[in-house]
Amino acid sequence: MSDGIDIRPISEDEVDDFLRRVEAGFLTVSSDEELEREKLAFERDHALAALDGVTIVGTTSAYSLEVTLPGGAPVAMAGVTAVGVAPTHRRRGILRSLMETQINGLVDRGLPLAGLLSSEAPIYGRFGYGVAEEHRYTTIDAPRFALGVKMAELADEIRIEAVPITRTDDELIDVVGPFWERHRLTQVGELGRSDDAWRAKLSTLPKDRFEYLAGRGDDVVGVAMVNAKVDWIGAVPDGSLRATVAADDDVARAALVAFVSRVDLVRSVSLATPVDDPLRWAVVDRRAIRTDRVDDHLWLRVLDLPAAIEARRWATNGSVILGVDDPLLSANSGTWKLVVEDGWAQLDRSQAEPEITMSISAVAPLLTGAASPHTLTASAAIRGAPDALERLAGMARVDRAPFCQTGF
Ligand SMILES: CC(C)(COP(=O)(O)OP(=O)(O)OC[C@H]1O[C@@H](n2cnc3c(N)ncnc32)[C@H](O)[C@@H]1OP(=O)(O)O)[C@@H](O)C(=O)NCCC(=O)NCCS
């Protein structure tokens, strides 16, 4: 790029410097041990640095991940991470150069999707990313929380077990890893994690952590990871838990949430939930569950439009002519005919007049079902004739909101 800044891959010798610069961008400093753990999951061949002379002033990288789309097929996704520009070099176009180089490089590798978690919502839309999943951040007033009679009966069959606090990270991965591998394929929006990614992740989590498993018969069907903080107001305990709860089904999830809400000394439990969380419909007192925020979480960038569209399962058969605008990747731009048969799509070039037009960033919520074509039209993100929108809405329909609890 101009301005004396070079964008290039990094050598093995530059890895430590690169990772230290990434951390500085996020205003943190890790110990040497944490850095070594981070290196376990680091993929150097995905790393790009912006250099001012010999100094790294900008970074981006990616993990090789898979995301689950409707229909359950895992789709390759570059999990973009480590994005930062030095405070001394901000707002000079370095991020733009990094993003453009990265996106073109990922296309050359044949990847259909890139995904990221954004530190600030306004940054990535300009590079074609769109919101593919949201989190409903929730706080439970623990003493008031109780499952309704019907859910409580069902949840009775779930056995909750504590993972011994003496376990090592590797022992935890042995139990949670196989559960996660099954679970993530049933959860639209969720990502696969390698054992190394688990190790790197666990090393960044606070050590005062408790884990609980939900069992049905001999199977592990859910996991809760919990951090506790107990304050005392005079002699009165005022404990709060931050929980991450994942389960194969809603009964196991309800059982885990009910369990952590009943831990002694605890007054509140915070956790992220899907936006359409059924738990609010399964409790005695729904006002015991407060929504603090609903925020964007997983963003997707479509790199190969036909591959991405054809990777998800669609709800109804039909066809529609789409006009897509992608300022960075001309191969995605233009007019396409989307035909769905037996639930699977084919996307081909078309000479017809588009019935619905959208920018590439609006394809992200359509892929996962984070927003319907009707919602996207109402928000002016897509435009089209009512009958075409009705057809696309039928095809794109999903029964449940996507949910991704994997940080990267
Ligand atoms: C966010 C960050 C990477 C931006 O880098 P940068 O080199 O200053 O960005 P650029 O100069 O290339 O800006 C590109 C465009 O994004 C916009 N932009 C950059 N950062 C933005 C922000 N935080 N909020 C809104 N817009 C932003 C710029 O205004 C510019 O807009 P334009 O296309 O209309 O000209 C940098 O500020 C940073 O490192 N922040 C701290 C770490 C972080 O949040 N990283 C992102 C992790 S997901």
Q: Could you tell me the distance, in angstroms and rounded to a whole number, from the CA of residue 126 to the centre of ligand 1? A: 10
Identify whether residues 147 and 23 lie together within a single domain: no
Identify whether residues 42 and 20 lie together within a single domain: yes
Most informative mutation of 3, 90, 131, 299 for ligand 1 (most atoms within 8 A of CB): 90
Residue at which a domain ends, from 267, 292, 317: 292
The CATH number linked to 349 is: 3.30.1050.10
Identify whether residues 198 and 81 lie together within a single domain: no
Q: Could you tell me the distance, in angstroms and rounded to a whole number, from the CA of residue 123 to the centre of ligand 1? A: 6
Identify whether residues 368 and 275 lie together within a single domain: no
Q: Is residue 308 domain-resident?
A: yes
**Is the distance from the beta carbon of residue 83 to the nearest atom of ligand 1 less than 6 Å?**
yes
User: Read out DSSP for 26-83?
Assistant: TT----HHHHHHHHHH--GGG-EEEEETTEEEEEEEEEEEEEE-TTS-EEEEEEEEEE
Chain centre to alpha carbon of residue 246: 13
Q: Is residue 252 domain-resident?
A: yes
State the virtual CA torsion across 15, 21, 22, 23 in degrees, nearest 10: 110
Q: How many DSSP H helices and E strands does the chain contain?
A: 11, 19
- Domain of 359 in residue numbering reads as 304-396
Atom of ligand 1 nearest to the CA of 80: 48
DSSP bridge partners of 266 = 239
Q: Is residue 402 domain-resident?
A: no
Burial (Cβ within 10 Å: 0-12, 13-18, ≥19) of residue 224: buried
Q: Is residue 126 domain-resident?
A: no
List all residues 6 or more positions away from 371 whose beta carbon is below 8 Å from its beta carbon. 131, 365, 379, 381
- Please tell me the predicted confidence (pLDDT) of residue 1: 65
Q: Is residue 221 domain-resident?
A: yes
d(CA 378, CA 358): 13
191, 406 Cβ separation under 8 angstroms: yes
Identify whether residues 155 and 224 lie together within a single domain: yes
Burial (Cβ within 10 Å: 0-12, 13-18, ≥19) of residue 218: exposed
Q: What are phi and psi of 187, to 5 degrees?
A: -115, 110
Neighbours of 171 (CB within 10 A): 12
List the structure tokens of 239: 């404990």
**Is the distance from the beta carbon of residue 118 to the nearest atom of ligand 1 less than 6 Å?**
yes
Identify whether residues 143 and 235 lie together within a single domain: yes
d(CA 10, CA 44): 7
Neighbours of 111 (CB within 10 A): 21
Q: What are phi and psi of 318, to 5 degrees?
A: 155, -175
Residue at which a domain ends, from 261, 292, 323: 292
Identify whether residues 161 and 258 lie together within a single domain: yes
Q: Is residue 120 domain-resident?
A: no
Q: Is residue 12 domain-resident?
A: yes
Q: How confident is the prediction along the chain (408 residues), in pLDDT tens digits per residue?
A: 657 899 999 999 999 999 999 998 888 888 888 888 888 889 999 999 999 999 999 999 999 999 999 998 899 999 999 999 999 999 999 999 999 999 999 999 999 999 999 999 999 999 999 999 999 999 999 999 999 999 999 999 999 999 998 999 899 999 999 999 999 999 999 999 888 888 878 877 777 789 999 999 999 999 999 999 999 999 999 999 999 999 999 999 999 999 999 999 999 999 999 999 999 999 999 999 999 999 999 999 999 999 999 999 999 999 999 999 999 999 999 999 999 999 999 999 999 999 999 999 999 999 999 999 999 999 999 999 999 999 999 999 999 999 999 999
Identify whether residues 263 and 318 lie together within a single domain: no
**Is the distance from the beta carbon of residue 120 to the nearest atom of ligand 1 less than 6 Å?**
yes
Counting other chains too, the contacts that 375-381 makes at CB distance below 8 Å and 24 or more residues apart are none
The CATH number linked to 78 is: 3.40.630.30
Q: In the chain, what are the helix, strand and coil shares in percent, each to the nearest 5?
A: 35, 35, 30
369, 70 Cβ separation under 8 angstroms: yes
Residue at which a domain ends, from 257, 272, 292: 292
- Please tell me the predicted confidence (pLDDT) of residue 201: 80
Q: Could you tell me the distance, in angstroms and rounded to a whole number, from the CA of residue 122 to the centre of ligand 1? A: 9
Identify whether residues 226 and 325 lie together within a single domain: no
Q: Could you tell me the distance, in angstroms and rounded to a whole number, from the CA of residue 210 to the centre of ligand 1? A: 37
Identify whether residues 340 and 270 lie together within a single domain: no
Q: Between 195-204 and 169-186, two packed helices, what is the crossing angle to 10 degrees?
A: 110
Identify whether residues 280 and 140 lie together within a single domain: yes
Rounded to 5°, angle at Cα 194 from 29 and 66: 105
Neighbours of 380 (CB within 10 A): 8
Give how many domains the chain has, as a whole number.
3
What is each CA distance from 127 to 99, 114, 359, in whole angstroms? 7, 11, 11
Q: Is residue 129 domain-resident?
A: no
What is each CA distance from 4 to 85, 87, 97, in whole angstroms? 15, 17, 12
Identify whether residues 243 and 139 lie together within a single domain: yes
